[in-house]
Amino acid sequence: MYFKTILLVLSSLKLAAADCNHNNCLRAVIASAVPTRHGAADCSSYLAVTVTPAASTVTTTTTVTATTVVANKRRNLKLRGNLPLNARQATVTASSMPAYASACTNKASYSSACSCIGVTAMTITAAAPTTTVTQTATATVNILQNPSIQFHDFKDEFCGSGIDSFTLSAGHCFTLPLFPIPDFSNSWSNFDPGLCGVPASQCTVGFYTNDYCFDFDRSFPVTSNVCVDASYYFSARLNCGPCV
């Protein structure tokens, strides 16, 4: 066994360059060829530099749309989400020399001894990690409240035209026709919902309070499709203007 150990030591010495200084540091590295030490492997581990590239970012965006009714015509768009962190490359090196190489005063002397047995520094590039960033975007759309009266649903009638009945679609604004009537408290009873699915029983007599019906001299948005019957009044006039 002793003879084999001498051969291993001599074999390691042959690997050393001619200018290698056979000091205690190199002897410790060469002596590590004994079964309890792994000099070449320890040198490789110590001199290896592992570089991990910066993480690549995959962004997933989920959009949530919120609609808000406002008093004027505006449309705003907001984007909210977590900003991705700046990716950086990471470099990892060995932290300490093996205990048996205590004769090596610093990293340079240990590296020199390792090079004398044929082990030099090398760089290992690790696989780049992938980071997934999830963003939530909130799109806020503000729409116009109570748009101006749109009479294109009134069977091609124009402002001021005589009309007996008309259809008013949901989302439009309606202003009552104005013309001289002797008794306002009873005159609006014939402005009842017709054949659009809203029964006349939902209306009250006189001044109406149900939005499916119509109070005197007021404007309001319509929430569903209704028919308005003005047949009691010949030549009823449509009043054009915005909701107030």
Q: Is the pLDDT of residue 237 over 80?
A: no
Q: Which of 143, 160, 183 is the last residue of a domain?
A: 143
Question: How far apart are alpha carbons 240 and 227 in whole angstroms?
Answer: 18
Q: Which helix (H) or strand (E) holds 15?
A: helix 2-15
Q: Please, is 138 exposed, middle or buried when counting C-beta atoms within 10 Å of its C-beta (0-12, 13-18, 19+)?
A: middle
Q: Which two tokens stand for residue 139?
A: 């799109």
Residues 11 and 131 in one domain: yes
pLDDT digits (tens, 9 = 90+) for 160-198: 444 444 455 555 544 444 443 333 333 333 343 333 333
Q: Burial, 168: exposed, middle or buried (Cβ in 10 Å; 0-12, 13-18, 19+)?
A: buried
* Phi, psi dihedrals of residue 48, rounded to the nearest 5°: -75, 135
For the ranges 5-19, 51-65, 84-98, the lowest mean pLDDT is seen at 5-19
Element of type H or E holding 142: strand 130-144
115 and 27 assigned to the same domain: yes
**What does pTM read for this prediction?**
0.33
Q: Are 139 and 24 members of one domain?
A: yes
Same domain, 193 and 214: yes
Give the integer Cα–Cα distance in Å for 115 and 109. Answer: 10
Q: What pLDDT is recorded for position 158?
A: 43
Q: Is residue 244 part of a domain?
A: no
The average confidence (pLDDT) of the chain is: 56
Backbone angles phi, psi at 156, to 5 degrees: 65, 20
What's the token pair of residue 232? 């009691």
Is the same domain home to 90 and 41? yes
Among 158, 159, 217, 165, residue whose Cα is nearest residue 187: 217
Find the mean pLDDT for residues 234-238: 37
CA 128 to chain centre: 24
Q: Write the pLDDT tens digit of every residue in 120-131.
A: 877 777 777 777
Q: Which residue has the higher pLDDT, 118 or 156?
A: 118
Residue 149, Cβ density class (10 Å: 0-12 exposed, 13-18 middle, ≥19 buried): buried
How many domains, in total, are found in the chain?
Answer: 2
Residue 89 has pLDDT above 60, yes or no: yes
Domain around 57: 2-143
